[in-house]
Amino acid sequence: MGERGFWQQSYDEESWENHADNVKGLLTQLVGRFPAVHWDTEPGAITGERLHLTERREGPDITGWSLGHHFVSIEVSGTPAKVTIPPDPILVRPGKLRSVVPLLFWMVYRDVIYVLHAEDVEKYHREVIQMKKSGKFETYLAVPYWEGHAPEYIFQVISSLLPVIGR
C-alpha cells in the first residue's frame, strides 16, 4: 500500500470530516479578512471526501494567491482528542513539511489552536516520537509548545506578507 493509501486507511470518516470542518473554518476567516486574496484548497480538504488513490494531492490544505503570485501555504492539522498543551508538545507529521515557503501550520486541538512556522517545526527534525493509531505506528516531530503562537498570529503574518506582493 502506498503512502496515500496508508494515511487514508489510518483515519475514520469522522476524522476526515473534522479535518474538513477545521479547513472550512479557517478558510471562512481568511476570506473575510483578506477578500482580495484568492484562496485555493486541495482536493478533499473542505469536503472531507477521501480521494481515489489515483488522484493527486500534493500541496498544503490552503494556498493564498495575490496578483497571480503564490505567497502563503497553510497546513491544517491537530486532533479532537484531549491533549494538554502545555506541557505536551505539538505533534506534526514530518510529511507535512513541504518545500513551499512561507508555510504555516494551523494546529486545531479540542480546547486551543496554535500557529507554527515550518522553519520552527524543522528545527525539531530529530525530536521524533511514534504513536500507535488504528493499529499502525505514526511518526511525529515533537515541537515544544513555546514555538506555537495564538490564532491571531496567522492573520498578522499574512498581512505582513501582502505588501511584498501587493494588494
pLDDT of residue 143: 96
* 8 A C-beta contact, residue 155 and residue 37: no
| Total count of domains within the chain | 1
Start-to-end CA span in the chain (Å): 44
Q: What is the residue-level pLDDT of the chain in tens, covering all 167 positions?
A: 444 444 445 455 556 688 889 999 999 999 999 999 999 998 877 765 655 444 455 679 999 999 889 999 999 998 877 778 888 899 998 988 876 778 999 999 988 999 999 999 999 999 999 988 777 888 999 999 999 999 999 999 999 998 655 44
What is the C-alpha to C-alpha distance for residues 74 and 93, in angstroms, rounded to an integer? 14
Please, what's the largest Cα pairwise distance for the chain?
A: 48
Return the pLDDT at 84.
85
Residue 43 has a pLDDT of 80
72 vs 14: CA distance, rounded Å:
28
pLDDT at 87: 87
**Residue 71: which domain range?**
3-165
Give the pLDDT of residue 14. 55
At 58 the pLDDT is 64
Spatial distance between the Cα atoms of 93 and 167, rounded to a whole number of angstroms: 33
What CATH number does residue 34 fall under? 3.40.1350.10
Q: Which residues contact residue 114 at a Cβ distance below 8 angstroms, ignoring those fewer than 6 apart? A: 85, 90, 105, 107, 145, 148, 149, 150, 151
Question: Contact 140/128 with Cβ under 8 angstroms?
Answer: yes
Question: What does the pLDDT read at residue 19?
Answer: 86
